[in-house]
Amino acid sequence: MNGAPEIVVAIIDDHEAIRVGMSAALRASGRSLRVIEGAATVADFLARDPADADVVLLDLNLGDGSDPKDNAEALRAEGHRVLVYSIADNVRMLRRALAGGADGVCRKAEPIAETVEAIVAVHEGRQVISQEILAAIEGDATYVAAALGPREREVLSLYAAGLEIPPIGRTLYITENSVKEYLKRIRAKYTQVDRPAASKLELFRRAVEDGIVPPVEPRF
């Protein structure tokens, strides 16, 4: 794609064949992607401090038994956007990765073109979670909901949609202090069920996970 900014991609997967094969496929995609050396674990990847990786494709189930939440948090802390690239059959692990700040989920069974578009979307700051994966997450019997009340869900819906506190108050006919108090309670409830939501982006993720707002998907 002429004129498109280059996106630097790295792949973390404990299967060398996946890393090699996916690297070749991304390089041949015709998009402005530069694939750098990946690793079998997040620890190995970060030990080399590859600060130029924009998007990291992260497998959920790595051979070192590491927690997807810890892995996503570690990568995000170093400034990398994280796209889970997995067979995505373990909903608990998917939830862990999303709780750690993963920007999206892409199945290994999907066509390469869809994975490329997901990489581009994540690089642009969009969250990529398909309706199919959301349905699997919502149907997970082990999931612990934050038990938000109707008004809390309304406030979160508007806040996640991009409204600031004053217009939320005007829309719902409540004071700005009331909006702030609702947001404080919402964050506390998510923290109590091990789903932290300190930032606005984290609140958006929780709203997507709970079906309060629709996911943002790549445009093909």
For the stretch 145-197, pLDDT in tens is 778 888 998 999 999 888 999 999 999 999 999 999 999 999 999 888 888 88
Helices (H), the chain: 16-27, 42-47, 68-77, 91-99, 112-123, 131-138, 150-160, 165-172, 176-192, 200-209
pLDDT higher than threshold 70 for residue 143: no
- pLDDT given at position 114: 92
Distance CA 211, CA 200 (A): 16
156, 148 Cβ separation under 8 angstroms: yes
| Mean of pLDDT values over 128-146 | 73
Domain count of the chain?
2
Do 168 and 97 lie in one domain? The reply is: no
The two beta strands, 7-12 and 33-35, are parallel
pLDDT higher than threshold 50 for residue 141: yes
In DSSP terms, 84 is beta-bridged to 58, 105
Do 68 and 122 lie in one domain? The reply is: yes
Backbone angles phi, psi at 128, to 5 degrees: -120, 105
- pLDDT given at position 133: 80
Q: Give the distance from CA 54 to its chain's centroid.
A: 14
The percent of residues above 70 in pLDDT, for the chain, comes to: 90
Do 110 and 201 lie in one domain? The reply is: no
- pLDDT given at position 34: 92
Distance CA 53, CA 14 (A): 18
- Give pTM, 2 decimals: 0.66
Q: Which of 138, 173, 194 is the last residue of a domain?
A: 138
Residue 56 placed within a domain: yes
215, 160 Cβ separation under 8 angstroms: no
CATH code for the domain of 187: 1.10.10.10
Do 49 and 156 lie in one domain? The reply is: no
Residue 92 placed within a domain: yes
Do 161 and 96 lie in one domain? The reply is: no
33, 122 Cβ separation under 8 angstroms: no
- pLDDT given at position 220: 34
Domain boundaries, position 14: 7-138
The answer to whether the Cα torsion of 173, 147, 139, 75 is positive or negative is positive
Query: Phi-psi region for residue 130, left (φ > 0), alpha (ψ -120 to 50) or beta?
Result: beta
Do 154 and 178 lie in one domain? The reply is: yes
Do 67 and 176 lie in one domain? The reply is: no
Residue 220 placed within a domain: no
Q: Which of 105, 138, 171 is the last residue of a domain?
A: 138
Q: Which band of pLDDT confidence, cut at 50, 70 and 90, is reported for residue 201? A: confident
pLDDT higher than threshold 60 for residue 1: no
Do 125 and 205 lie in one domain? The reply is: no
Residue 219 placed within a domain: no
CATH code for the domain of 29: 3.40.50.2300
| Mean of pLDDT values over 111-137 | 87
